[in-house]
Structure 1
Amino acid sequence: MVKSLYSISILLVGLIFSPIASYASALEVATFAGGCFWCVEKDFEHVKGVKSAVSGYTGGMLQNPSYRDHGQHLEAVKITFDPNIVTYSQLLETFWRSVDPTDGGGQFCDRGNTYTTAIFANTEEQRKLAQASKDALSQSGILKAPIVTPVRNATHWTDAEDYHQDYYKKNPVRYFLYRQGCGRDDRISELWGEQAHQGIDK
């Protein structure tokens, strides 16, 4: 009798919690570098299907870089998303149209290696999709200059300091003045026209 009750309780626990575990395991991660991570984080937190966006450092040689290690890493954003709502391919299309992939020296007013663009593939499938997306965009002729954004394999990741996370929420006025002053949106509109910020809910 005791064994039967135990078996039933285990079964019930499995039924209750398995959907939660299944949902959590269904989430995937995309990693993009698109210049200032405040802006990339804000953009992708307004994409349907994105559950979270975390600013951080990657693409360098240091294991635990900080903001002070300028030039030795790229500012990037780790995006957790539900592929049942938004696919990785759709996120790629949004990424391209939220940056200037023809600029190899930085992004907008921010110059130097730290602010260059990159797609960091977390799986082999992501790498193939990212390269195919880049090739298709290059062949489309939409952009008049070569695409210099590299597709790289994801390496070690370090979360940025707390004050960088959700900066646009914590410091809305400063964020607005920075983004406008840096010319980010003006350049994206100039470059992409009606396709600018595709997939981002303003």
Structure 2
Amino acid sequence: MDKYKKAYIAGGCFWGMEDLFRVRPGVKDTEVGYLGGENENPTYRNHPGHAEGIEITYDPNETSFREILDYFFRIHNPTTLDQQGNDRGSSYRSTIFFQNEEEKKESETVIQIVNDSGRWKGDAVTTLEPFTVFWPAEPEHQDYLVKHPNGYTCHFERFGTFLKEQGQA
């Protein structure tokens, strides 16, 4: 597992994001949880300020942080502040939790590519927050849409890659 890297993102309800990322090339594992909030050991019922996010474990020889971000911006609407589908509130914000300056710069670059594409009506309101700690969600939330295939999700692929158009793949 030492050769793998982790990425931390949030873009609405964590169930749908996890379900789509779990099958991406190069993604080795996904886990849903809470990031960027006010309390330790948050729960689904008590996570003030935390975003519902996912931890993505990936093989950098098979996919890149940039490609993960590209897909992230294709499966949720990054232009809605604190909202995805029917879900509203800061728990559903669009956020990239960067672990170092390289990830922060890569995130800024991809956001600019997304904005320059004009595919979304408006610019991304995705925030960049320094990663601090990932708190795994309760077991019943892990792999939720595998366990409940007809469960709620507002995530789906809206378009193809942003990167090929920009020569960024």
Does TM-score exceed 0.5, indicating one fold? Answer: yes
Q: What is aligned with 1:195?
A: 160
RMSD: 1.8
The change in CA–CA distance for 1:106 and 1:70 in structure 2 (over 3 A counts) is farther
In the alignment, which of 95, 102, 110 is matched to residue 72 of structure 2?
Answer: 95
Q: Does residue 129 of structure 2 align to residue 164 of structure 1? A: no
- Which ranges of structure 1 fall in alignment gaps of 5 or more residues? 1-23
Kindly indicate whether the alpha-carbon contact (under 8 Å) linking 1:105 and 1:113 is maintained by their aligned counterparts in 2: yes
Comparing 66-75 with 48-57, which one deviates more in the overlay? Answer: 66-75
Kindly indicate whether the alpha-carbon contact (under 8 Å) linking 1:54 and 1:77 is maintained by their aligned counterparts in 2: yes
Kindly indicate whether the alpha-carbon contact (under 8 Å) linking 1:119 and 1:152 is maintained by their aligned counterparts in 2: yes
Larger relative strand fraction: 2
Cα distance in 1 for partners of 2:68, 2:77 equals 16
Where relative contact order (Cα < 8 A, 6+ residues apart) is larger, the structure is: 2
Cα distance in 2 for partners of 1:135, 1:106 equals 21
Please state how far the C-alpha of 1:36 moved relative to its aligned partner: 0.7
Comparing 101-110 with 62-71, which one deviates more in the overlay? Answer: 62-71
Please state how far the C-alpha of 1:94 moved relative to its aligned partner: 0.3
Kindly indicate whether the alpha-carbon contact (under 8 Å) linking 1:119 and 1:150 is maintained by their aligned counterparts in 2: yes
Q: What is aligned with 2:53?
A: 76
Question: Which runs of structure 2 are paired with 1:16-165 in the superposition (5 Å)?
Answer: 24-165=1-142
- Which ranges of structure 2 fall in alignment gaps of 5 or more residues? 164-169
Kindly indicate whether the alpha-carbon contact (under 8 Å) linking 2:19 and 2:143 is maintained by their aligned counterparts in 1: yes
Cα distance in 2 for partners of 1:72, 1:32 equals 15
- Paired residue type of 2:149: P
Structure 1 stretches of 4+ moved >6 Å: none
Please state how far the C-alpha of 1:184 moved relative to its aligned partner: 4.2
3-state DSSP of counterpart to 1:137: helix
Structure number, greater radius of gyration? 1
Q: What is aligned with 2:166?
A: none
Cα distance in 2 for partners of 1:71, 1:108 equals 20
After superposition, give the CA deviation of every residue in 1:118-163 in whole Å (9 maximum; x if it has no partner).
0111222111101111122222323221210111111222100000
After superposition, give the CA deviation of every residue in 1:65-97 in whole Å (9 maximum; x if it has no partner).
111115431100000000100111111100000
- Paired residue type of 1:195: G
Cα distance in 2 for partners of 1:91, 1:105 equals 21
Kindly indicate whether the alpha-carbon contact (under 8 Å) linking 1:57 and 1:76 is maintained by their aligned counterparts in 2: yes
Kindly indicate whether the alpha-carbon contact (under 8 Å) linking 1:48 and 1:86 is maintained by their aligned counterparts in 2: yes
Q: How many residues are aligned here?
A: 162
- Paired residue type of 2:160: Q
User: What TM-score results when the alignment is normalised by the length of structure 1?
Assistant: 0.75
User: What TM-score results when the alignment is normalised by the length of structure 2?
Assistant: 0.89
